[in-house]
Structure 1
Amino acid sequence: MIDEPPRPSWQMDWTKQAQDDFQSMPAEGRDLIMSARAELVTANDPYFRGIDADASLPHWMTVRPLASTSPGGPHIVDLAGGRGWLVYTFIRRHTEPQIVVTDAFWA
């Protein structure tokens, strides 16, 4: 038996603050965040690395590193032209890799 690396669907966890912020958003923001969540947990690489790696994402969603000097660190999902965002880190453990959302915002 070959021990294959983990594949999507990834688990997603939220910090308490991010979860509280998400729950207090208007329905429009929650809907877009849940759509973005669906894209993240089913992506082969939640960091969308490489040229045009995020070409298949919806037009209202972009993914980039939070700091260009840390491409393997936290990433931000910009939603609806900057009206909202999610900041997350992908923890690439061999067993149970997961995405941890640390910040959620909607204006």
Structure 2
Amino acid sequence: MTDAFMGPPWQMDWRLDALARLDALPEHVQKKVAEARAELVTARDPYFRGIDADAGLPETMYVEPVRSTDPKGPRILYFDNHRGWLVYAFIPRDEDPQITVVEVFWQ
């Protein structure tokens, strides 16, 4: 029996409204979002479960559940020292697992 688990790099998809917000951001912020995206798609576990699971992220980024009562639900990745965030969900299918970004924000 083979291991059906597919690992990084993960596929990433964007909701159209999130993609439109990304395109509206200044170019230097889009680069910060690209850095955050790179961290997500290469993470072994995009949900960063466990104690200090996000310790490998740069100091300017960290991940937490959107709602603590929904540990398998969407996550929020803060970047640029809390100036921005990505809300995303990870769908861990055996075939074609992917990350879906539902919101991007920067202030």
TM-score by shorter chain over 0.5: yes
Q: Which consecutive unaligned segments of at least 5 residues does structure 1 have?
A: none
- Post-superposition offset of 1:79: 1.3
- Post-superposition offset of 1:30: 0.7
Q: Is the 8 A contact 2:10 2:97 kept in 1?
A: yes
Which residue of the partner structure matches residue 23 of structure 2?
23
For the residue of structure 2 that corresponds to 1:12, the secondary structure is: strand
Show the 5 A alignment for 1:16-95: 16-95=16-95
Distance 2:66 2:28 in 1: 24
Per-residue CA distance 1:71-98 (angstroms, 9 max, x = gap): 1100001112221110000001110000
Q: CA RMSD in A?
A: 1.0
Which residue of the partner structure matches residue 106 of structure 2?
106
Q: Which consecutive unaligned segments of at least 5 residues does structure 2 have?
A: none
| TM-score, structure 2 as length reference | 0.95
Aligned length in residues: 107
Distance 1:88 1:53 in 2: 17
- Post-superposition offset of 1:42: 0.7
Sequence identity, in percent?
Answer: 51
Distance 2:80 2:63 in 1: 12
- Post-superposition offset of 1:101: 0.1
| TM-score, structure 1 as length reference | 0.95
* 1:23 maps to amino acid: D
For the residue of structure 2 that corresponds to 1:58, the secondary structure is: coil
Distance 1:81 1:58 in 2: 10
Distance 2:29 2:63 in 1: 17
